[in-house]
Structure 1
Amino acid sequence: MDVMCLVYGIEIPSSDWEKTPASIKELVEKMGQRIKQSEQELASEVAKNQELLEKINRTSKNSSSPPSSDPLNSEKLLSKKKSDKKRGGQLGHKGHSRNLYDVSECDSVLEHQPETCSGCGEKLIGVDSNPRRHQVVEIPPINPIIVEHRLHQLECQHCGTLTRATLPADVPIRGYGVRVVALVAVLSGLYRHSTRMVQSAMQDIFGVTMCLGTVNKLKKEASDAIAGAVSEAKTYVQNSPVVGVDETSCLLRKC
């Protein structure tokens, strides 16, 4: 009976293994080592993934972590019983409509009067003291205001020195006015647009072209302009007896 030998977990007859050429044995050895190494790496990755899953599912309710570490979606939505009501507005529900602007805020008011009766076709006369009001809101075409400053240079007739005019103190050196700076700050700060999105919005909506570097410089300019107010607000909060914040997490849709 032929003796069996174990080669990387596989039993084969010893006679077959002895007959195997040396080059094939070397190849099998290398492949076996690579398989063993791959199995070890796979086991390590599985352990890492398991650890990450545990971290993701860890909340203040199943661990000693503070509530502030809970993800926003940690609370599951309460199951809601399906209603028997039909979709849409319900009987007795107070309707909501768009509020009309005051007449004083309208740029123009157009009067439309019927000329003939819709029933018999007779000519209509008279005045309606309470006409139905319909308003259309539109945004005017947006075109940037571009002001060119020309700094002339003149030669002194006495000494020959060339002197060029300087920009007035209220003219921005970067070439963008305060409204442009404020708009860049609002788009990137309040609305959390990326630098590239701010660049696209300024070009597509307002017709103002600027490179990505300029967007970042204008953001810093706005930040420096309000640094004093931010510092005052920070000091006020730090010195307040009650701040009104805690570590309780909440879903944004509920707050």
Structure 2
Amino acid sequence: MNKKQPPAGISVADWQATPESVRQLVVGLLASVDQLQQAVAQLREQVNKNSQNSSKPPSSDPPSVKRKPPVPKGQRKRGGQPGHPGKGRRLKPPDQVSRFVVSQPSACGACGTLLMGEDPEPSRHQVTELPRIEPEVVEYQVHCLRCLACGQETRGEWPSTMPTGCFGPRLQAVTGYLSGRFGVSRRDTQELLATLFRVEMGLGSIPAQEQRLSQALVQPVQAAQTFVCQQPAVNVDETGWTETNQSCWLWVGSTPAVAVFLLRASRGRQGLTDLLGSDYAGIVGSDRLSAYNGLPDEQRQLCWSHLRRDFQALVDRGGNSALIGRLLLDQVKLFFPLWHRVRDGTLTRQAFQEAMRPVRREVESLLQLGSLLVQHRQTQATCRNILKRKNALWTFVDQEGVEPTNNAAEQALRRGVLWRKRSFGSQSQAGSRFVERILTVVISLRRQQRGLLDFLTDACQALVSGMAPPSLLPAA
């Protein structure tokens, strides 16, 4: 502030009549007030951050966060509606029935005459029941016999298909299935095996079976990572993890059919290189983390879900920032319905590109305007940082197979986030490798609608027999 110019609310005459020492004090106090107001505004913005205006997860939102209003309920009542087609349980054919219980009358209910023959169309009712499961215990024996002619002892050989441990491939697969797919703890796994399958397994044996399964998944997961690195577009994201109480990061590379997970100490460029390789030439969909800045903009697609939250943060900031934020959100609301039509096949790519031209111009103009808001330094920095990557905003408009959001990668990471919250991470490098591999298999097979337990069993059996393991790659 110019000491010769009076502050707002003080006349020139009063200011000139004020002693110089008082002027200096007033100017200093006003400067301090301005700094404190900026600090309070920053702190208030930090406190008000939530999942709608930042990258914080919804689970961290306080009760005060306003949710979107629920969709108005219609007039229909709960349950099936009148006239809808029934979805009753169908009777299984006779060849799929384990046994029959026949109730056949022997005498007439009216006169007592003996009844003969069978009803060609009897009333049928089927009951599905679980049998009592008894584990199969196979004992392998190797005999040593003495030759009657020369007295030499000869010992037999263990079968090449014999598992080296005390538990077979399917039991190993079930153990990993419970922890990797359903997140069952080791003590609960121990109880489930004993209760449902009548198998007694020590707590220490459960991680041993997981490691055996992890070895069986090495080749399929390596092939899956190679497959992902060959795809023209990959969505990438990362989340925090702990290994032996040390911070690390769980990375995911997501494609429509296969998702690959890696645990690495780095959240920077090295983690991305370990995931996709140093020479990946496809398009990476991601947020604005600096680890991705080494990629050229033409090889990136910034996540518009993250950008939408950034624009909401401008609105919550108030003032001119709010005006720019609202206008940016209006543009987002314009093009997402168009994108959905492109994805559904009801709008051609060429028509979409034509419709997006004015949207692109308006968004970039608004960001340019926001970068000039000197009074809102955070808004200025946000808009400038986005403008630096403006070519990475619109890759999805021109390139087939590129999504405007990074939702697919974030959805794939949710299972890892839940695992981390349950178990507080992994306690060894071997445990981290199991997490990587089982998550890769679970998510990939789910996307391909393939059976998980059979895949795990086949992988464990292949490890025992020395055969090729099953593949995680989608059928051609």
Deviation at 1:247, TM superposition (A): 1.8
Q: Is the 8 A contact 2:186 2:206 kept in 1?
A: yes
Q: Give distance in 2, aligned partners of 1:189 and 1:228.
A: 18
Listed one character per residue, the Cα deviations across residues 115-137 of structure 1 (whole Å, up to 9, x for unaligned) are: 6777x677676754333321111
Deviations 1:150-202 (A, max 9, x none): 45567899xx9998765333222211111111111211212221122211111
1:208 counterpart residue number = 199
Match of 2:406 among 242, 247, 250: 247
Contact 2:172 2:209 in 1 (8 A): yes
| Partner of residue 29, structure 1 | none
SS in 1 for 2:58: coil
| Letter of the structure 2 residue corresponding to residue 171 of structure 1 | M
Match among 176, 180, 191 for residue 167 of structure 2: 176
Superposition deviation, residue 144 in structure 1: 1.2
Question: Separation in 2 of the partners of 1:125 and 1:80?
Answer: 63
Is 1:96–2:87 an aligned residue pair?
Answer: yes
CA contact (8 A) 2:144 2:154 kept: yes
Which residue in 1 is equivalent to 2:185? Answer: 194
Alignment pair present for 1:71 and 2:230: no
1:181 aligns to what SS in structure 2? Answer: helix
What number of residue pairs does the alignment pair up? Answer: 194
Partners of 1:202 and 1:58 in 2: CA distance:
42
Q: CA deviation at 1:54?
A: 3.7
Q: Please list, as runs of the form range in 1=range in 2, the aligned pairs for 1:129-168 lying within 5 A after superposition.
A: 129-151=120-142, 167-168=158-159
CA distance in 2, matches of 1:109, 1:152: 45
Report the Cα distance in structure 2 between the residues aligned to 1:241 and 1:170, rounded to whole angstroms: 41
State the alpha-carbon separation in 1 of the partners of residues 81 and 102 from structure 2: 36
Aligned with 2:188: secondary structure? helix
Within 1, Cα distance between the matches of 2:162 and 2:102?
Answer: 46
**Native 8 Å contact 2:50 2:60 kept in 1:** no
Deviation track 1:85-127 (CA, whole Å, cap 9, x = no partner) reads: 5554432132221122222111223443456777x67767675
Q: Which residue of 2 aligns with 1:26?
A: none
Where does residue 209 of structure 2 map in the other structure? Answer: 218
Distance of 1:147 and 1:113 partners within structure 2: 43
Instruction: After superposing the two structures, state which structure 1 stretch, 104-113 or 207-216, moved more.
Output: 104-113
- Look up the equivalent residue of 1:217 and give its one-letter code: A
Residue identity in the other structure for 2:201: M
Q: CA deviation at 1:238?
A: 1.5
* Contact 2:144–2:156 (8 Å) recurs in 1: yes
The 3-state SS of whatever aligns with 2:194 is helix
The whole-number CA distance in structure 2 between the counterparts of 1:194 and 1:201 is 10
Whether 2:217 is the aligned partner of 1:58: answer no
Aligned partner of 1:46 in structure 2 is none
Q: Partner letter of residue 58 of structure 1?
A: N
Q: CA deviation at 1:231?
A: 0.8
Letter of the aligned partner of 2:179 in structure 1?
Answer: S
| Cα distance change on mapping 1:121 and 1:235 into 2, 3 Å | farther
Unaligned 5+ residue runs, structure 1? 1-49
Normalising by structure 2, we get a TM-score of 0.34
* Aligned equivalents of 2:47, 2:144: Cα separation in 1: 71
Mapped to 2, the partners of 1:165 and 1:202 lie a distance apart of: 34
Contact (CA 8 Å) 2:175, 2:206: kept in 1 or not?
yes
Flag the 1:77–1:238 CA change in 2: closer, same or farther, 3 A.
Answer: same
Q: How does 1:78-93 map to 2 (within 5 A)?
A: 78-93=69-84
One-letter code aligned to 1:247: N
Q: Tell me the amino acid that sits aligned with residue 166 of structure 2.
A: G
Q: Which runs of 5 or more structure 2 residues have no equivalent in the other structure?
A: 1-42, 234-254, 257-402, 415-476
Q: Residue 167 of structure 2: SS of its match in structure 1?
A: coil
Equivalents in 1 of 2:103, 2:146: separation in Å?
A: 67
Select the structure with the greater relative contact order (CA < 8 A; seq sep ≥ 6). Answer: 2
> Share of identical aligned residues, percent?
32
Paired letter, 1:219: E
Moved more, 90-99 or 179-188: 90-99
Higher mean C-alpha deviation, range 77-86 or range 222-231: 77-86
Residue 217 (structure 1) shift: 0.7
Q: Which of the two has greater helix per residue?
A: 2
How far off is 1:70 after superposition? 3.7
Report the structure number with the largest CA radius of gyration: 1
User: Following TM superposition, by how much is the alpha carbon of 1:236 offset from its aligned partner in structure 2, in angstroms?
Assistant: 0.6
Alpha carbons of structure 1 residues 102 and 54: separation in structure 2 relative to 1, 3 Å: farther
Equivalent position amino acid for 2:50 in 1: R
